[in-house]
Structure 1
Protein backbone atom coordinates (compact mmCIF):
# COMPACT_ATOMS: atom_id res chain seq x y z
CA UNK A 1 0.00 0.00 0.00
CA UNK A 2 1.32 3.42 -0.91
CA UNK A 3 0.34 6.96 0.05
CA UNK A 4 1.58 10.36 -1.05
CA UNK A 5 1.86 13.41 1.18
CA UNK A 6 1.61 16.93 -0.18
CA UNK A 7 3.62 19.27 2.05
CA UNK A 8 3.54 23.05 1.71
CA UNK A 9 5.82 25.71 3.22
CA UNK A 10 5.66 29.48 3.53
CA UNK A 11 9.20 30.35 2.45
CA UNK A 12 10.05 32.02 -0.83
CA UNK A 13 12.64 29.31 -1.37
CA UNK A 14 12.96 25.99 0.40
CA UNK A 15 16.44 24.87 1.44
CA UNK A 16 17.21 21.46 2.92
CA UNK A 17 20.32 19.32 3.34
CA UNK A 18 21.16 17.25 0.27
CA UNK A 19 21.48 14.26 2.57
CA UNK A 20 17.95 14.52 3.91
CA UNK A 21 17.14 10.80 4.25
CA UNK A 22 17.71 10.58 7.98
CA UNK A 23 15.52 13.62 8.61
CA UNK A 24 12.67 12.17 6.54
CA UNK A 25 13.03 8.78 8.25
CA UNK A 26 12.75 10.54 11.62
CA UNK A 27 9.64 12.33 10.37
CA UNK A 28 7.99 9.02 9.44
CA UNK A 29 8.66 7.51 12.88
CA UNK A 30 7.41 10.67 14.60
CA UNK A 31 4.16 10.61 12.63
CA UNK A 32 3.60 6.93 13.45
CA UNK A 33 4.35 7.65 17.12
CA UNK A 34 1.48 10.16 17.16
CA UNK A 35 -0.82 7.20 16.60
CA UNK A 36 1.03 4.67 18.77
CA UNK A 37 4.32 5.35 20.50
CA UNK A 38 4.51 1.66 21.42
CA UNK A 39 4.22 0.55 17.79
CA UNK A 40 6.69 3.20 16.60
CA UNK A 41 9.27 2.11 19.19
CA UNK A 42 8.80 -1.56 18.35
CA UNK A 43 9.09 -0.83 14.63
CA UNK A 44 12.26 1.21 15.15
CA UNK A 45 13.98 -1.16 17.57
CA UNK A 46 12.73 -4.58 16.42
CA UNK A 47 10.90 -4.29 13.11
CA UNK A 48 9.40 -7.51 11.82
CA UNK A 49 11.67 -10.43 12.61
CA UNK A 50 12.51 -13.53 10.63
CA UNK A 51 14.82 -15.71 12.74
CA UNK A 52 17.81 -13.41 13.31
CA UNK A 53 16.95 -11.02 10.47
CA UNK A 54 14.95 -7.83 10.93
CA UNK A 55 12.87 -6.01 8.32
CA UNK A 56 11.08 -2.67 8.71
CA UNK A 57 8.88 -3.41 5.66
CA UNK A 58 8.45 0.21 4.58
CA UNK A 59 10.21 2.65 2.32
CA UNK A 60 9.86 6.22 1.11
CA UNK A 61 10.85 8.35 -1.85
CA UNK A 62 13.03 11.39 -2.10
CA UNK A 63 11.29 14.73 -1.59
CA UNK A 64 9.84 15.71 -4.97
CA UNK A 65 9.20 19.39 -5.80
CA UNK A 66 5.68 19.87 -7.16
CA UNK A 67 4.92 21.72 -10.40
CA UNK A 68 7.80 20.53 -12.59
CA UNK A 69 10.29 22.30 -10.33
CA UNK A 70 13.67 20.86 -9.47
CA UNK A 71 16.21 20.98 -6.69
CA UNK A 72 19.21 23.22 -7.24
CA UNK A 73 22.34 21.81 -5.64
CA UNK A 74 24.31 24.38 -3.67
CA UNK A 75 28.00 24.16 -2.88
CA UNK A 76 27.53 23.88 0.87
CA UNK A 77 25.76 20.53 1.12
CA UNK A 78 22.26 21.98 0.75
CA UNK A 79 19.67 22.02 -2.02
CA UNK A 80 17.09 24.69 -2.85
CA UNK A 81 13.83 24.81 -4.78
CA UNK A 82 11.32 27.56 -5.49
CA UNK A 83 8.46 25.04 -5.45
CA UNK A 84 5.92 25.95 -2.77
CA UNK A 85 5.03 22.31 -2.24
CA UNK A 86 6.91 19.02 -2.15
CA UNK A 87 5.52 15.50 -2.25
CA UNK A 88 6.67 12.44 -0.36
CA UNK A 89 5.64 8.88 -1.18
CA UNK A 90 5.57 6.31 1.63
CA UNK A 91 4.94 2.62 1.03
CA UNK A 92 4.56 -0.54 3.08
CA UNK A 93 3.24 -4.06 2.80
CA UNK A 94 1.92 -3.82 6.37
CA UNK A 95 -1.60 -2.39 6.65
CA UNK A 96 -1.02 -1.53 10.33
CA UNK A 97 1.93 0.70 9.41
CA UNK A 98 -0.15 2.69 6.90
CA UNK A 99 -3.05 2.93 9.36
CA UNK A 100 -0.80 4.31 12.11
CA UNK A 101 0.75 6.71 9.62
CA UNK A 102 -2.64 8.09 8.51
CA UNK A 103 -3.96 8.37 12.08
CA UNK A 104 -0.74 10.07 13.14
CA UNK A 105 -1.12 12.64 10.38
CA UNK A 106 -4.64 13.46 11.59
CA UNK A 107 -3.08 14.57 14.87
CA UNK A 108 -0.16 16.40 13.26
CA UNK A 109 -1.15 18.89 10.52
CA UNK A 110 2.24 20.60 10.87
CA UNK A 111 5.44 18.58 10.52
CA UNK A 112 9.16 19.32 10.68
CA UNK A 113 11.92 18.15 8.37
CA UNK A 114 15.11 19.38 9.95
CA UNK A 115 14.47 23.02 10.84
CA UNK A 116 11.85 23.51 8.13
CA UNK A 117 8.13 23.52 8.98
CA UNK A 118 5.55 22.11 6.57
CA UNK A 119 1.78 21.92 6.51
CA UNK A 120 0.27 18.60 5.44
CA UNK A 121 -2.02 19.73 2.62
CA UNK A 122 -3.17 16.32 1.43
CA UNK A 123 -2.81 12.62 2.15
CA UNK A 124 -3.77 10.39 -0.76
CA UNK A 125 -3.83 6.64 -1.09
CA UNK A 126 -2.49 5.50 -4.46
CA UNK A 127 -4.11 2.69 -6.41
CA UNK A 128 -1.84 -0.35 -6.62
CA UNK A 129 -0.43 -0.97 -10.09
CA UNK A 130 -0.81 -4.19 -12.02
CA UNK A 131 2.46 -6.07 -11.57
CA UNK A 132 3.68 -8.86 -13.83
CA UNK A 133 6.69 -11.14 -13.67
CA UNK A 134 8.66 -8.73 -15.87
CA UNK A 135 8.51 -5.01 -15.10
CA UNK A 136 10.32 -1.85 -16.08
CA UNK A 137 10.83 0.48 -13.12
CA UNK A 138 12.25 3.92 -12.53
CA UNK A 139 13.81 4.47 -9.13
CA UNK A 140 12.37 6.99 -6.71
CA UNK A 141 15.30 6.38 -4.38
CA UNK A 142 18.62 4.51 -4.83
CA UNK A 143 18.59 0.72 -4.59
CA UNK A 144 21.15 -0.65 -2.12
CA UNK A 145 22.68 -4.12 -2.23
CA UNK A 146 25.62 -5.19 -0.04
CA UNK A 147 27.67 -8.31 0.55
CA UNK A 148 30.36 -8.97 3.13
CA UNK A 149 33.19 -11.05 1.69
CA UNK A 150 35.24 -13.45 3.87
CA UNK A 151 38.14 -11.73 5.59
CA UNK A 152 36.86 -8.22 4.90
CA UNK A 153 35.77 -5.87 7.70
CA UNK A 154 33.10 -3.96 5.81
CA UNK A 155 30.46 -5.06 3.27
CA UNK A 156 30.86 -4.09 -0.38
CA UNK A 157 28.20 -2.29 -2.36
CA UNK A 158 27.02 -4.31 -5.34
CA UNK A 159 25.22 -3.13 -8.47
CA UNK A 160 23.25 -4.74 -11.30
CA UNK A 161 25.59 -6.92 -13.33
CA UNK A 162 27.88 -7.75 -10.38
CA UNK A 163 28.39 -11.33 -9.30
CA UNK A 164 26.05 -12.36 -6.46
CA UNK A 165 23.81 -9.31 -6.97
CA UNK A 166 20.71 -11.20 -8.03
CA UNK A 167 21.17 -13.93 -5.42
CA UNK A 168 21.35 -11.34 -2.63
CA UNK A 169 18.35 -9.44 -3.98
CA UNK A 170 16.40 -12.71 -4.17
CA UNK A 171 17.30 -13.67 -0.58
CA UNK A 172 16.31 -10.19 0.63
CA UNK A 173 12.92 -10.32 -1.06
CA UNK A 174 12.20 -13.86 0.16
CA UNK A 175 13.09 -12.75 3.69
CA UNK A 176 10.72 -9.78 3.43
CA UNK A 177 7.97 -12.01 2.02
CA UNK A 178 8.27 -14.45 4.90
CA UNK A 179 8.43 -11.69 7.54
CA UNK A 180 5.44 -9.98 5.93
CA UNK A 181 3.15 -12.99 5.57
CA UNK A 182 4.48 -15.34 8.26
CA UNK A 183 4.90 -18.24 5.86
CA UNK A 184 7.64 -19.73 3.71
CA UNK A 185 8.11 -18.81 0.08
CA UNK A 186 7.83 -22.09 -1.78
CA UNK A 187 9.85 -21.42 -4.94
CA UNK A 188 13.03 -23.51 -5.07
CA UNK A 189 14.51 -22.12 -8.28
CA UNK A 190 15.89 -18.59 -8.36
CA UNK A 191 14.14 -16.71 -11.16
CA UNK A 192 15.50 -13.21 -10.71
CA UNK A 193 17.18 -10.54 -12.83
CA UNK A 194 17.85 -6.80 -12.50
CA UNK A 195 19.08 -5.12 -15.67
CA UNK A 196 19.85 -1.43 -16.02
CA UNK A 197 18.65 0.16 -19.25
CA UNK A 198 21.61 -0.02 -21.68
CA UNK A 199 20.56 3.27 -23.27
CA UNK A 200 20.54 5.01 -19.89
CA UNK A 201 23.90 3.48 -18.92
CA UNK A 202 25.43 4.67 -22.19
CA UNK A 203 23.87 8.13 -21.92
CA UNK A 204 25.23 8.46 -18.38
CA UNK A 205 28.65 7.09 -19.39
CA UNK A 206 28.22 4.26 -16.89
CA UNK A 207 27.36 6.54 -13.97
CA UNK A 208 24.32 4.74 -12.61
CA UNK A 209 24.85 5.16 -8.86
CA UNK A 210 24.11 7.79 -6.23
CA UNK A 211 25.99 8.40 -2.98
CA UNK A 212 23.93 9.30 0.10
CA UNK A 213 25.29 10.17 3.54
CA UNK A 214 23.23 9.10 6.54
CA UNK A 215 23.35 10.95 9.87
CA UNK A 216 25.70 13.50 8.35
CA UNK A 217 27.95 15.24 10.86
CA UNK A 218 27.30 12.74 13.66
CA UNK A 219 29.58 10.07 15.12
CA UNK A 220 27.55 7.43 13.28
CA UNK A 221 27.81 9.11 9.85
CA UNK A 222 27.66 6.51 7.07
CA UNK A 223 28.03 6.78 3.30
CA UNK A 224 25.75 4.56 1.22
CA UNK A 225 25.95 4.03 -2.54
CA UNK A 226 23.01 2.62 -4.46
CA UNK A 227 21.98 2.04 -8.06
CA UNK A 228 19.88 4.91 -9.42
CA UNK A 229 18.74 4.14 -12.95
CA UNK A 230 15.82 2.67 -14.90
CA UNK A 231 15.85 -1.07 -14.34
CA UNK A 232 14.15 -4.09 -15.88
CA UNK A 233 13.20 -6.61 -13.20
CA UNK A 234 12.18 -10.23 -13.59
CA UNK A 235 10.69 -11.92 -10.52
CA UNK A 236 7.76 -14.05 -9.42
CA UNK A 237 4.75 -11.79 -9.03
CA UNK A 238 4.58 -12.38 -5.28
CA UNK A 239 8.11 -11.04 -4.78
CA UNK A 240 7.55 -8.21 -7.27
CA UNK A 241 4.68 -7.03 -5.06
CA UNK A 242 6.84 -7.24 -1.94
CA UNK A 243 9.56 -5.17 -3.62
CA UNK A 244 7.06 -2.56 -4.79
CA UNK A 245 5.33 -2.28 -1.39
CA UNK A 246 8.27 -2.65 0.99
CA UNK A 247 11.19 -1.54 -1.18
CA UNK A 248 13.87 -3.46 -3.04
CA UNK A 249 17.23 -4.17 -1.41
CA UNK A 250 18.56 -2.91 1.89
CA UNK A 251 18.08 0.17 4.10
CA UNK A 252 14.56 0.73 2.80
CA UNK A 253 13.46 2.38 6.08
CA UNK A 254 16.20 4.97 5.47
CA UNK A 255 14.66 5.90 2.13
CA UNK A 256 16.19 3.44 -0.33
CA UNK A 257 14.77 1.00 -2.85
CA UNK A 258 11.49 2.69 -3.81
CA UNK A 259 10.44 2.28 -7.46
CA UNK A 260 7.50 3.03 -9.69
CA UNK A 261 6.52 1.25 -12.90
CA UNK A 262 7.32 2.97 -16.17
CA UNK A 263 5.94 0.30 -18.46
CA UNK A 264 5.55 -3.45 -18.67
CA UNK A 265 8.43 -5.03 -20.56
CA UNK A 266 7.88 -7.57 -23.26
Structure 2
Protein backbone atom coordinates (compact mmCIF):
# COMPACT_ATOMS: atom_id res chain seq x y z
CA UNK A 1 0.00 0.00 0.00
CA UNK A 2 1.18 3.49 -0.81
CA UNK A 3 0.15 6.88 0.46
CA UNK A 4 1.24 10.26 -0.76
CA UNK A 5 1.59 13.28 1.52
CA UNK A 6 1.09 16.75 0.09
CA UNK A 7 3.15 19.17 2.16
CA UNK A 8 2.91 22.95 2.01
CA UNK A 9 5.67 25.41 2.86
CA UNK A 10 5.32 27.52 5.96
CA UNK A 11 7.52 30.26 4.49
CA UNK A 12 8.53 31.64 1.10
CA UNK A 13 11.52 29.32 0.56
CA UNK A 14 12.58 26.00 2.02
CA UNK A 15 16.20 24.80 2.12
CA UNK A 16 17.27 21.23 2.84
CA UNK A 17 20.50 19.21 2.60
CA UNK A 18 20.82 17.40 -0.72
CA UNK A 19 21.43 14.22 1.26
CA UNK A 20 18.24 14.35 3.31
CA UNK A 21 16.95 10.76 3.32
CA UNK A 22 17.81 10.33 7.00
CA UNK A 23 15.68 13.40 7.77
CA UNK A 24 12.72 11.89 5.90
CA UNK A 25 13.23 8.57 7.71
CA UNK A 26 13.16 10.41 11.04
CA UNK A 27 10.02 12.24 9.92
CA UNK A 28 8.25 8.92 9.28
CA UNK A 29 9.23 7.46 12.66
CA UNK A 30 8.10 10.66 14.38
CA UNK A 31 4.70 10.50 12.68
CA UNK A 32 4.24 6.85 13.66
CA UNK A 33 5.29 7.71 17.21
CA UNK A 34 2.35 10.12 17.46
CA UNK A 35 0.05 7.12 17.02
CA UNK A 36 1.97 4.51 19.01
CA UNK A 37 5.33 5.15 20.66
CA UNK A 38 5.54 1.42 21.45
CA UNK A 39 5.14 0.40 17.80
CA UNK A 40 7.51 3.13 16.60
CA UNK A 41 10.21 1.99 19.03
CA UNK A 42 9.72 -1.66 18.13
CA UNK A 43 9.85 -0.87 14.41
CA UNK A 44 13.01 1.20 14.80
CA UNK A 45 14.87 -1.11 17.16
CA UNK A 46 13.65 -4.55 16.05
CA UNK A 47 11.66 -4.36 12.84
CA UNK A 48 10.27 -7.61 11.47
CA UNK A 49 12.93 -10.16 12.27
CA UNK A 50 14.13 -13.09 10.20
CA UNK A 51 16.82 -15.02 12.06
CA UNK A 52 19.59 -12.45 12.68
CA UNK A 53 18.28 -9.92 10.14
CA UNK A 54 15.67 -7.23 10.75
CA UNK A 55 13.51 -5.73 8.01
CA UNK A 56 11.48 -2.55 8.50
CA UNK A 57 9.31 -3.37 5.45
CA UNK A 58 8.73 0.18 4.31
CA UNK A 59 10.35 2.65 1.98
CA UNK A 60 9.74 6.17 0.74
CA UNK A 61 10.46 8.50 -2.15
CA UNK A 62 12.57 11.64 -2.15
CA UNK A 63 10.67 14.88 -1.61
CA UNK A 64 9.63 15.86 -5.09
CA UNK A 65 8.05 18.88 -6.71
CA UNK A 66 4.94 18.75 -8.91
CA UNK A 67 5.00 19.53 -12.62
CA UNK A 68 8.52 18.09 -12.94
CA UNK A 69 10.08 21.21 -11.53
CA UNK A 70 13.55 20.75 -10.07
CA UNK A 71 15.19 21.81 -6.85
CA UNK A 72 17.79 24.58 -7.07
CA UNK A 73 21.12 23.09 -6.10
CA UNK A 74 23.77 25.04 -4.19
CA UNK A 75 27.51 24.59 -3.78
CA UNK A 76 27.21 24.16 -0.01
CA UNK A 77 25.43 20.81 -0.33
CA UNK A 78 21.94 22.21 0.08
CA UNK A 79 18.96 22.57 -2.22
CA UNK A 80 16.06 25.00 -2.11
CA UNK A 81 12.69 25.71 -3.66
CA UNK A 82 9.95 28.32 -3.56
CA UNK A 83 7.41 25.79 -4.89
CA UNK A 84 4.43 25.93 -2.54
CA UNK A 85 3.65 22.21 -2.45
CA UNK A 86 5.92 19.19 -2.09
CA UNK A 87 5.03 15.50 -2.29
CA UNK A 88 6.31 12.48 -0.38
CA UNK A 89 5.25 8.90 -1.15
CA UNK A 90 5.52 6.23 1.56
CA UNK A 91 5.08 2.53 0.83
CA UNK A 92 4.62 -0.59 2.96
CA UNK A 93 2.74 -3.90 2.72
CA UNK A 94 2.12 -3.80 6.50
CA UNK A 95 -1.34 -2.43 7.22
CA UNK A 96 -0.40 -1.69 10.84
CA UNK A 97 2.40 0.59 9.67
CA UNK A 98 0.11 2.51 7.31
CA UNK A 99 -2.59 2.77 9.97
CA UNK A 100 -0.20 4.20 12.56
CA UNK A 101 1.14 6.59 9.95
CA UNK A 102 -2.32 7.93 9.11
CA UNK A 103 -3.41 8.14 12.76
CA UNK A 104 -0.18 9.95 13.61
CA UNK A 105 -0.93 12.55 10.94
CA UNK A 106 -4.40 13.06 12.37
CA UNK A 107 -2.83 13.88 15.73
CA UNK A 108 -0.38 16.40 14.28
CA UNK A 109 -1.00 18.09 10.90
CA UNK A 110 2.40 19.84 11.01
CA UNK A 111 5.62 17.93 10.39
CA UNK A 112 9.30 18.81 10.39
CA UNK A 113 12.06 17.76 8.02
CA UNK A 114 15.23 18.79 9.77
CA UNK A 115 14.79 22.47 10.64
CA UNK A 116 12.02 23.03 8.08
CA UNK A 117 8.35 22.81 9.01
CA UNK A 118 5.47 21.85 6.73
CA UNK A 119 1.73 21.52 6.93
CA UNK A 120 0.22 18.24 5.73
CA UNK A 121 -2.46 19.37 3.30
CA UNK A 122 -3.65 16.00 2.04
CA UNK A 123 -3.03 12.30 2.69
CA UNK A 124 -4.07 10.15 -0.25
CA UNK A 125 -3.94 6.42 -0.85
CA UNK A 126 -2.55 5.45 -4.25
CA UNK A 127 -4.07 2.69 -6.35
CA UNK A 128 -2.07 -0.52 -6.50
CA UNK A 129 -0.92 -1.24 -10.07
CA UNK A 130 -1.33 -4.65 -11.65
CA UNK A 131 2.00 -6.45 -11.22
CA UNK A 132 2.98 -9.37 -13.43
CA UNK A 133 6.10 -11.46 -13.85
CA UNK A 134 7.61 -9.03 -16.34
CA UNK A 135 7.63 -5.34 -15.39
CA UNK A 136 9.39 -2.12 -16.27
CA UNK A 137 10.14 0.21 -13.39
CA UNK A 138 11.61 3.66 -12.85
CA UNK A 139 13.84 3.88 -9.80
CA UNK A 140 12.82 6.85 -7.65
CA UNK A 141 15.79 6.34 -5.33
CA UNK A 142 19.02 4.36 -5.76
CA UNK A 143 18.85 0.56 -5.55
CA UNK A 144 21.51 -0.67 -3.14
CA UNK A 145 22.87 -4.19 -3.45
CA UNK A 146 25.84 -5.47 -1.45
CA UNK A 147 27.46 -8.69 -0.32
CA UNK A 148 30.06 -9.56 2.28
CA UNK A 149 32.19 -12.66 2.02
CA UNK A 150 34.00 -14.29 4.92
CA UNK A 151 37.32 -12.54 4.24
CA UNK A 152 35.80 -9.12 3.52
CA UNK A 153 36.25 -6.36 6.09
CA UNK A 154 33.55 -4.23 4.47
CA UNK A 155 30.52 -5.06 2.36
CA UNK A 156 31.14 -4.99 -1.37
CA UNK A 157 28.61 -2.95 -3.36
CA UNK A 158 27.24 -4.66 -6.45
CA UNK A 159 25.87 -3.15 -9.65
CA UNK A 160 23.95 -4.48 -12.67
CA UNK A 161 26.35 -6.58 -14.72
CA UNK A 162 28.27 -7.82 -11.69
CA UNK A 163 28.26 -11.58 -11.38
CA UNK A 164 26.40 -11.71 -8.06
CA UNK A 165 24.04 -8.75 -8.50
CA UNK A 166 20.92 -10.66 -9.59
CA UNK A 167 21.43 -13.46 -7.06
CA UNK A 168 21.86 -11.06 -4.12
CA UNK A 169 18.92 -8.89 -5.24
CA UNK A 170 16.67 -11.96 -5.58
CA UNK A 171 17.75 -13.41 -2.23
CA UNK A 172 16.99 -10.09 -0.56
CA UNK A 173 13.44 -10.18 -1.95
CA UNK A 174 13.00 -13.77 -0.77
CA UNK A 175 14.11 -12.86 2.76
CA UNK A 176 11.73 -9.91 2.86
CA UNK A 177 8.95 -12.20 1.61
CA UNK A 178 9.66 -14.59 4.50
CA UNK A 179 9.78 -11.74 7.05
CA UNK A 180 6.47 -10.44 5.71
CA UNK A 181 4.54 -13.71 5.44
CA UNK A 182 6.44 -15.73 8.12
CA UNK A 183 7.11 -18.55 5.69
CA UNK A 184 9.91 -19.17 3.16
CA UNK A 185 9.30 -18.29 -0.46
CA UNK A 186 8.64 -21.61 -2.19
CA UNK A 187 8.19 -20.46 -5.78
CA UNK A 188 10.51 -20.83 -8.75
CA UNK A 189 12.85 -17.85 -9.05
CA UNK A 190 15.33 -19.47 -11.42
CA UNK A 191 14.40 -17.09 -14.25
CA UNK A 192 15.03 -13.92 -12.23
CA UNK A 193 16.42 -11.27 -14.61
CA UNK A 194 17.31 -7.62 -14.03
CA UNK A 195 17.98 -5.54 -17.17
CA UNK A 196 18.98 -1.88 -17.15
CA UNK A 197 17.44 0.55 -19.62
CA UNK A 198 20.51 0.92 -21.84
CA UNK A 199 19.09 3.90 -23.73
CA UNK A 200 18.76 5.78 -20.45
CA UNK A 201 22.28 4.78 -19.42
CA UNK A 202 23.66 6.05 -22.72
CA UNK A 203 21.79 9.36 -22.39
CA UNK A 204 23.32 9.73 -18.93
CA UNK A 205 26.72 8.74 -20.36
CA UNK A 206 26.84 5.87 -17.91
CA UNK A 207 26.50 8.14 -14.89
CA UNK A 208 23.82 6.12 -13.15
CA UNK A 209 25.77 5.08 -10.07
CA UNK A 210 25.05 7.27 -7.08
CA UNK A 211 27.04 7.89 -3.92
CA UNK A 212 24.74 8.98 -1.10
CA UNK A 213 25.97 10.24 2.27
CA UNK A 214 23.75 9.45 5.24
CA UNK A 215 23.99 11.75 8.30
CA UNK A 216 26.71 13.81 6.67
CA UNK A 217 29.12 15.44 9.10
CA UNK A 218 28.01 13.32 12.06
CA UNK A 219 30.00 10.54 13.79
CA UNK A 220 27.66 7.93 12.30
CA UNK A 221 28.15 9.26 8.74
CA UNK A 222 27.79 6.48 6.16
CA UNK A 223 28.39 6.50 2.41
CA UNK A 224 26.12 4.25 0.37
CA UNK A 225 26.43 3.32 -3.31
CA UNK A 226 23.52 2.41 -5.55
CA UNK A 227 22.19 2.51 -9.10
CA UNK A 228 19.51 4.97 -10.23
CA UNK A 229 17.98 4.12 -13.60
CA UNK A 230 14.88 2.59 -15.21
CA UNK A 231 15.00 -1.19 -15.51
CA UNK A 232 13.11 -4.28 -16.59
CA UNK A 233 12.58 -7.08 -14.09
CA UNK A 234 11.53 -10.64 -14.85
CA UNK A 235 10.58 -12.33 -11.60
CA UNK A 236 7.71 -14.16 -9.89
CA UNK A 237 4.80 -11.80 -9.31
CA UNK A 238 4.93 -12.45 -5.55
CA UNK A 239 8.51 -11.15 -5.37
CA UNK A 240 7.66 -8.30 -7.72
CA UNK A 241 4.98 -7.19 -5.27
CA UNK A 242 7.38 -7.38 -2.32
CA UNK A 243 9.89 -5.20 -4.15
CA UNK A 244 7.26 -2.69 -5.20
CA UNK A 245 5.83 -2.31 -1.69
CA UNK A 246 8.95 -2.75 0.48
CA UNK A 247 11.59 -1.46 -1.91
CA UNK A 248 14.20 -3.29 -3.99
CA UNK A 249 17.62 -4.00 -2.53
CA UNK A 250 18.84 -2.90 0.87
CA UNK A 251 18.38 0.09 3.20
CA UNK A 252 14.76 0.61 2.14
CA UNK A 253 13.77 2.27 5.43
CA UNK A 254 16.52 4.83 4.76
CA UNK A 255 14.84 5.78 1.50
CA UNK A 256 16.54 3.45 -1.00
CA UNK A 257 15.08 1.13 -3.62
CA UNK A 258 11.70 2.79 -4.19
CA UNK A 259 10.31 2.45 -7.71
CA UNK A 260 7.27 3.32 -9.76
CA UNK A 261 5.84 1.48 -12.76
CA UNK A 262 7.19 2.74 -16.07
CA UNK A 263 4.07 3.53 -18.07
CA UNK A 264 5.85 4.93 -21.12
Does the pair score TM above 0.5? yes
Question: Match of 2:21?
Answer: 21
User: Offset at 1:195?
Assistant: 1.1
Question: Match of 1:178?
Answer: 178
| Change beyond 3 A, Cα 1:189–1:241 | closer
Are the equivalent residues in 2 in contact too, given 1:67–1:83 (CA < 8 A)?
no
Question: Match of 2:40?
Answer: 40
Larger mean CA deviation between 220-229 and 205-214 belongs to 205-214
Alignment of 1:226 onto 2:232: no
Query: Which secondary structure does the structure 2 equivalent of 1:183 belong to?
Result: coil
Q: Deviations over 1:211-247 (max 9, x none)?
A: 2111111101001111100011111000000000000
- Alpha-carbon distance in structure 2 between the residues aligned to 1:189 and 1:25: 31
Alignment of 1:159 onto 2:159: yes
Equivalent residues, number: 264
- Alpha-carbon distance in structure 1 between the residues aligned to 2:15 and 2:125: 27
Are the equivalent residues in 2 in contact too, given 1:69–1:81 (CA < 8 A)?
no
- Alpha-carbon distance in structure 1 between the residues aligned to 2:158 and 2:128: 29
Query: Which secondary structure does the structure 2 equivalent of 1:249 belong to?
Result: coil
- Alpha-carbon distance in structure 2 between the residues aligned to 1:130 and 1:179: 23
Question: Match of 1:259?
Answer: 259
- Alpha-carbon distance in structure 2 between the residues aligned to 1:173 and 1:189: 10
Q: Deviations over 1:10-40 (max 9, x none)?
A: 3222210001000000000000010000000
Unaligned runs of 5+ in 1: none
Larger mean CA deviation between 131-140 and 190-199 belongs to 190-199
Alignment of 1:105 onto 2:96: no
Unaligned runs of 5+ in 2: none
- Structure-2-length-normalised TM-score: 0.97
Question: Match of 1:216?
Answer: 216
Query: Which secondary structure does the structure 2 equivalent of 1:79 belong to?
Result: strand
What do you get for the CA RMSD once the two structures are aligned? Answer: 1.1
Are the equivalent residues in 1 in contact too, given 2:19–2:214 (CA < 8 A)?
yes
- Alpha-carbon distance in structure 2 between the residues aligned to 1:255 and 1:107: 24
Question: Match of 2:191?
Answer: 191
Please list every run of at least 4 consecutive aligned residues from structure 1 whose deviation after the TM superposition is greater than 3 angstroms. Answer: none
User: Offset at 1:67?
Assistant: 3.4
- Alpha-carbon distance in structure 2 between the residues aligned to 1:182 and 1:212: 32
